[in-house]
Amino acid sequence: MTDNRDRRTASSRKVPPRRSSPKARQSAEIIRIAQDDNVDGGGTDEVTSESVQGEEPRRPATGLFGQTQPNAAFFFPWLAFLAKGTEPDALFAQPPGFCPWWPVVEHSDHKEAPRGVDPPAPQEDQLEGPSSIDRLLHAAVGRATLGVSPAALALAYADWAAHLAGSPGKQAQLAQKAARKAVRLGLYAMRCATDPNTCPCIEPLPQDRRFRGPEWQRWPFNLIYQSFLLNQQWWHNATTGVRGVSPHQEQVVSFVARQFLDLFSPSNFLATNPELLELTAKEGGQNLIRGAVNWVEDWERAVAGRPPVGSEAIQVGRDVAVTPGKVVYRNRLIELIQYEPTTEEVHAEPILIVPAWIMKYYILDLSPHNSLVRYLVERGHTVFIISWRNPGVDDRDLDLEAYRKLGIEKALKAIDAIVPGRKVDAVGYCLGGTLMAIEAAKLAREGGDRLNTLTLLAAQTDFREPGELSLFIDEGELAFLEDIMWDQGYLDTKQMAGAFQMLRSNDLIWSRLLHNYLAGERKELTDLMAWNADATRMPYKMHSEYLRKLFLRNDLSEGHYEVDGRPVVLSDIRVPVFTVGTETDHVSPWRSVYKIHLPVDTDVTFVLTSGGHNAGIVSEPGHPRRRFRISLRRAEEKYMDPDTWFANTHPQEGSWWPAWATWLEEQSSGDAPPPPMGASDKEYAPLCDAPGTYVSQR
């Protein structure tokens, strides 16, 4: 039964549409949704002759404690000012009972659901009003907390603190460790008084380079950094190994404690850093003046949204992404680039490279000397690569399926028109590799033979152990992040960069601040650094699905990820697979990448190379200090765990690129004349020169 006020009467009160900002439209939408909800089921229903025979009339809707719902003006007069495109009178003239967040309780005969059967979930339109207000609040808080959910952080600390409080044995152990460390430091101090060459009582971790200089071995700085390391070690013991704390919450607490300790490291302050003190004395403080100038310049560029200092010297299409080619296809999401051949004959199978859309594609086409694309072209391959469009607010509803269909499917269709009748060597990098694996499983499910091989570069297909990125992925943190993206329409580049920088705060945050602002030094920007600063955004819906379906629920590995309404499974893939992991990858840990051995029933060649997520892939021949391990596991061979594999596979010096190129050539059916650039007769005429237009979008 609805309110006896006619719907036409309610609609006649609507304010005529007018131009307004996105924020105003968003707030007006909150009001409209709440209006509709109250027209359908709120207000003061009365029994009329129009009641359906046999139904018990519904009583007036009330609040939680039985009282009639108050008018929205009583609680939310500020909504009139948020909705700048809505007249204030339109807000205060709502029907009695309108309040977006006030719970509606209907008095009716309640029947409990049968035992073992879940009650029906509330409909989305019943929750949309309150949800919108909550999301606006979370988005506002998220801007102040850099996207970190205070609730998720508080839950982690509550879990740790509660279990530690109930563990007297652990407390006694920590007290004993604190006393022992104090004694060690005292003995070290007394020995240093008589012997300056006394060995430290604690050594930094191998990756910690903050205290390697000889200046740190002199009094009193040796005592300062030794006490810091002992304190750091104690806090690690305090935040780990507490019985009963969930593994995820333990990781969060330990990570946050490490961030605070790194913030107060003696290397970050002029008074406690002997290297900085010596430099300042030598230059008469000029380093501090240069540092202040650097800080002002960086601040001005950050506020203006301009790229970092030095990026002007490296331009896309002039210094990087210069391999000759043509854009042969374009839609709202991608540009497909075909590169010009440099050999008289090419391998019959073309290569399609799918980079991640979290990055610009030219990470694989940097300077001529370290361009993977150029290397493949010179080896006689026909190379296509996807250049993703940098999404904006209007692309908020693009989902993973849109990226698969508008990206990979459209690219394969174009390649089939340009190089008809040829299978494709598919290559996916990072998130692009995950999506390429999904497409390969979908093609295998349908019995297609479109692909010749599948190469995954630092790409995960099983997200049970995603490394330190899992610190930012739980239900509370994800809901908070979704609300931020819902408000913006996308995940901003700065928010993504901040998460990755926190994983390596010593190298990417504090070391940079130290050199730029205290030492007054600027490192010359390299092509890789310039590319890293040229980040992209992630659409709201796509990124939410990616984090929820793949990271949180691990649907792909468990066979629950659906394409076209049906699940896809990686075990359907039968083409040979070549997978590359990198030793120090914080984004796609190599042990997680190694899990590709578990689901697929085909030959898998696995390479582990030195370097990180980007530098390990951009590992051209001749690059100094590069090494890799490689092995082939046949489909019929038994599985070997990653640690055993690492111990039994000996490293080789040099780049992994030649090994991969040789593998591709072994899978090829032979040579053929180079295909034409595009296919004008099939609507794939060249549109412009590489690198295209989408790569230049900011």
Residues taking part in catalysis? 430
The whole-angstrom separation of Cα 37 and Cα 45 is 14
In one-letter notation, the amino acid at residue 93 is A
- Residue 327 has what DSSP assignment? E
For the chain, the helix, strand and coil percentages under 3-state DSSP, each to the nearest 5: 50, 10, 40
Sign, CA dihedral 188-191-193-195, equals negative
If you compute the radius of gyration of the chain from its CA atoms, what whole number of angstroms results? Answer: 30
The CA-atom distances, in angstroms, between 682 and each of 6, 414, 679, 685, 686 are 57, 9, 5, 8, 11
Which structure tokens are listed for 268? 């970050």
The CA-atom distances, in angstroms, between 674 and each of 377, 453, 526 are 11, 20, 34
Cβ distance 85 to 25 under 8 Å? yes
Helices 221-239 and 247-263: angle between axes, nearest 10 degrees: 160
- Residue 407 has what DSSP assignment? I
The whole-angstrom separation of Cα 38 and Cα 16 is 20
Q: What's the CA angle centered on 310, arms 147 and 655, to 5 degrees?
A: 85
Cβ distance 95 to 38 under 8 Å? yes
Helices (H), 504-575: 505, 511-513, 527-533, 540-545, 555-558
The whole-angstrom separation of Cα 13 and Cα 4 is 16
The backbone torsions φ and ψ at residue 12, rounded to the nearest 5 degrees and listed phi first, read -70, -15
Which among 165, 151, 149, 150 has a CA at the least distance from the CA of 245?
165
Helices (H), 522-641: 527-533, 540-545, 555-558, 590-593
Which among 614, 618, 609 has a CA at the least distance from the CA of 590?
609
Annotate 142-206 with DSSP letters as a single string: HHHHTT--HHHHHHHHHHHHHHHHT-HHHHHHHHHHHHHHHHHHHHHHHHHHH-TTPPPSSPPPT
User: Taking the mean position of all CA atoms in its chain, how far away is CA 10?
Assistant: 44
Residues 6 or more apart whose CB falls under 8 angstroms from that of 180 comprise none
Residues 6 or more apart whose CB falls under 8 angstroms from that of 131 comprise none
